[in-house]
Amino acid sequence: DRAAARATLTAAWERAPYERVEIACGGGRGRTGTALACLAVLDGVPAGEAVDFVRRHYDRHAVETPWQRRYVRTFS
């Protein structure tokens, strides 16, 4: 559910300056990387650059599938 995912990620982004927020999935790369890239978009990184940003600053294998990359590009 795209709307619920956006609301949850927006809430995490809004809380992050004041409290610890954790993002995780089973392997820590695909879904976690996708969520981190979406948070980067919320923080001002252009959607077309967010996957590269997360790969540089988190894990070079983050955001594993074409579907996940497309999700980030259309997140804004």
Rounded to two decimals, what is the model's pTM?
0.94
Given this model, what pLDDT does residue 53 score?
Answer: 98
Given this model, what pLDDT does residue 72 score?
Answer: 97
Three-class secondary structure of residue 40 per DSSP: helix
Q: Give the other-Cβ count within 10 Å of 53's Cβ.
A: 18
pLDDT tens, position by position, 9-44: 999 999 999 999 999 999 999 999 999 999 999 999
Given this model, what pLDDT does residue 18 score?
Answer: 96
CA atoms of 7 and 9, how far apart (whole Å): 6
CA atoms of 41 and 35, how far apart (whole Å): 10
* Sequence-distant contacts of 66-71: CB under 8 A, at least 24 apart: 68/30, 68/31, 68/33, 68/34, 71/34, 71/38
- Number of domains into which the chain is organized: 1
Does the structure show a pLDDT above 90 at 76?
no
CA atoms of 3 and 65, how far apart (whole Å): 21
pLDDT tens, position by position, 51-73: 999 999 999 999 999 999 999 99
* Residue 46 domain boundaries: 2-73
